[in-house]
Amino acid sequence: HIFVYAVDFSQRGVAMVKAHRAYDEKRLRAAVCDITCGSLPAELGPVQADVVTLIFVLGSVPPEKMGAALRTAVGALKPGGRLLFRDHADGDMAQQRFESSAEPKKLGPNLYVRRDRTLSFYFTTEGAAELFIRAGFRVERLEYTTRVIENRKEGLRMTRRFITGVFVRDDNVTAGQGSG
């Protein structure tokens, strides 16, 4: 039996989930949440999850708030629980397009703003490991993944580069201190 907690910054996104005909609060509870605030919404009740996913989430968070977002995730996990992570990696084709753009879009190292004014951060394995360790995780796996995507209609081949990781809540590390 699986129970899912879903949070999103967008009220509209959460409303869409709740409006779906398969939404059943006996199996899924969704709420609006700014994960950088340090805790989950009270309406979710106590959360002790086996798994938390951050799939193309953390790279949209301002770098100075990423630690707070990860502390929220640590607080949602059972001891020994795992966080599954995937986001854009340094050297991705989209980052290269930002670099070659005539418009100034770069806000800082590996940090860009998209046309819709959302952020896009491109992670290195070293930087991601340090960030997760400081938040109270142990690195189980962290690697780059490369995919070649082909647009046959346009005759384009695009190399996309992602970072994928599995992190374990490490109760032997005090969040904020890290272990090295």
Report CA Rg, the chain.
Answer: 18
Higher pLDDT, 131 or 47: 131
- Residue 15's pLDDT is what? 96
Higher pLDDT, 44 or 84: 84
- Binned at pLDDT 50, 70 and 90, residue 174 comes out as low
When pLDDT is averaged across residues 66-82 and rounded to a whole number, the result is 94
pLDDT of residue 88 exceeding 60, the answer is yes
The model's pTM is 0.86
| CA–CA distance, 83 with 121 (Å, rounded to integer) | 19
